[in-house]
Amino acid sequence: MSFSREDLRLAPFQDGQGVLLERRAIKGAEGLYSLWLTLDNPAALNAYTSDMLRALVLGIGEADQDPSVVALVLTGSGSRAFCSGGDVAHYAEAFAGRPELMARYMRLYGNVITALLQCAKPTICRVNGARVGGGQELGLACDFSISSDLAIFAHGGLKLGSAQEAGLTDFLPLLVGIEAAMNAFTVDGPWSAYKAMRLGMLTDVVPVLRVDNELQRNPLVQSDHYLLDGRLVYGEGLSGEALAAGKQTLRRGEVDLAPLDARVEKQIKALVALMPLTAEKAILSLRQHKLERWMANKEANRLFMAAQTVSEAGLGFKKFAQGDKKNRFVDHAQLRRALAGGQAWSQALFDELL
């Protein structure tokens, strides 16, 4: 009886689901490829939908089972965003007040994280732009992150009522330490790519701003010095006149992602020069630190996030979807006062805060 790779596939990948699949030949390695999965929803900053999550699972399976594929690359369309996470407006409409449905959705999302952590091939997050919320979780589940130096990394779920427990609380402390992760989750603003690399979250950062045909580092952040007056400043945002000048430079320039692609291709070429099964075993062993935390926590976290849709998450999603850009979050102090005064979660409380 004949048996082939086709017999091992979960299901064939289908185009048109918001994820693009491309096999790219590796230069100098005839017959070998990298498999690129591109989140293709640029109008929503590459926020993922249910269809996109299903496509990601199948696309990761394609890389996993194809022996000619050396590495999987996960990226987003355009230069504004890698992925902004889930579509909060959709969450407000579909999941607020419906924990049973949110629980099923979070299982689908969790299947993507599990697939990345168990993929037989090394995974590379090509960070072409902002990596936010659930996009951060997808990126942190990858083995390598190579970033445009204009990208930002944000962990703002607590203001919305999302504890970001679909991977972020598991993975981020492993990479940057508990204290930096705690600060990122609670009071710190978005990180620049240079700060993220300094803290250990990225493999490399690549300048992509071309001004007068010359590549320049991100002009909005400090990348010339590590220390200033005894404080770590590498990757921190500029201020005052330096920031104003940086904004002018940014407006004059154009984003060129070719250097980012070249750096990703360099990483892939280095992976070609490894024994395939030995490399697979070593990578799976290194991933085990992430996988153990993920497997231990994912079901309880999934159900907690679902339960929150009748309280904090439901309220936060609705406010974000209904508010304008300057008024997207509830009055957290007002909410705290109401709860401290004994007010129960109810439609009346929602109406008061919306």
Nearest residue to 85 via CA among 158, 139, 159: 139
Which pLDDT does position 322 carry in this prediction? Answer: 85
Residue 290 half-sphere exposure, CB side, CA atoms within 13 Å? 24
Q: How confident is the model at residue 188 (pLDDT cuts 50, 70, 90)?
A: confident
Which residue's entry shows tokens 């992925």?
A: 83
Residue 200 pLDDT > 60: yes
CB atoms within 10 A of CB 74: 28
Q: Mean pLDDT score of the chain, rounded to an integer?
A: 93
How far out from the chain centre does Cα 231 lie?
29
Q: How confident is the model at residue 176 (pLDDT cuts 50, 70, 90)?
A: very high
* Alpha-carbon gap, residue 48 to 113, rounded angstroms: 13
Which pLDDT does position 328 carry in this prediction? Answer: 86
Percent of the chain with pLDDT over 90: 81
Q: How confident is the model at residue 324 (pLDDT cuts 50, 70, 90)?
A: confident
Q: Give yes or no for a contact between 20 and 38, defined as CB atoms under 8 angstroms apart.
A: yes
Residue 9 pLDDT > 90: no
Q: Is 121 exposed, middle or buried (0-12, 13-18, 19+ CB in 10 A)?
A: buried
Residue 163 pLDDT > 70: yes
* Alpha-carbon gap, residue 93 to 149, rounded angstroms: 35
Which pLDDT does position 352 carry in this prediction? Answer: 93
Q: Give per-residue pLDDT as tens, 102-123.
A: 999 999 999 999 999 999 999 9
Q: Give per-residue pLDDT as tens, 221-252.
A: 999 989 988 999 999 999 999 999 999 999 99
Which pLDDT does position 11 carry in this prediction? Answer: 66
* Alpha-carbon gap, residue 156 to 177, rounded angstroms: 18
Q: How confident is the model at residue 185 (pLDDT cuts 50, 70, 90)?
A: confident
* Alpha-carbon gap, residue 139 to 75, rounded angstroms: 9
- Identify the weakest region by mean pLDDT among 174-178, 239-243, 324-328, 337-341: 324-328
Residue 283 pLDDT > 60: yes
Q: How confident is the model at residue 346 (pLDDT cuts 50, 70, 90)?
A: very high
Q: Name the amino acid, one letter, at 323.
A: G
Residue 7 pLDDT > 60: no
Q: What angle do CA 94, 99, 104 make, to 5 degrees?
A: 80
Residue 1 pLDDT > 70: no
Contacts of 340 (CB under 8 A, 6+ apart): none
* Alpha-carbon gap, residue 94 to 41, rounded angstroms: 19
* Alpha-carbon gap, residue 47 to 309, rounded angstroms: 19
- Identify the weakest region by mean pLDDT among 162-171, 191-200, 257-266: 162-171
Which pLDDT does position 16 carry in this prediction? Answer: 73
Which pLDDT does position 15 carry in this prediction? Answer: 75
Q: 152-154 and 191-192: which strand pairing? A: antiparallel
Q: What angle do CA 197, 133, 174 make, to 5 degrees?
A: 45
Nearest residue to 344 via CA among 319, 310, 316: 310
Which pLDDT does position 275 carry in this prediction? Answer: 96
Please measure the distance between the N-terminal and C-terminal CA atoms of the chain and give it in whole angstroms.
64
Q: Give yes or no for a contact between 119 and 60, defined as CB atoms under 8 angstroms apart.
A: yes
Give the start-to-end residue ranges of the domains of the chain: 5-208+256-311, 323-354
* Alpha-carbon gap, residue 133 to 142, rounded angstroms: 15
Q: How confident is the model at residue 158 (pLDDT cuts 50, 70, 90)?
A: confident
Residue 5 pLDDT > 90: no
Residue 8 pLDDT > 70: no
Q: How confident is the model at residue 302 (pLDDT cuts 50, 70, 90)?
A: very high
Give the domain 5-208+256-311 fold: 2-enoyl-CoA Hydratase; Chain A, domain 1 (3.90.226)
Q: Give yes or no for a contact between 46 and 38, defined as CB atoms under 8 angstroms apart.
A: no
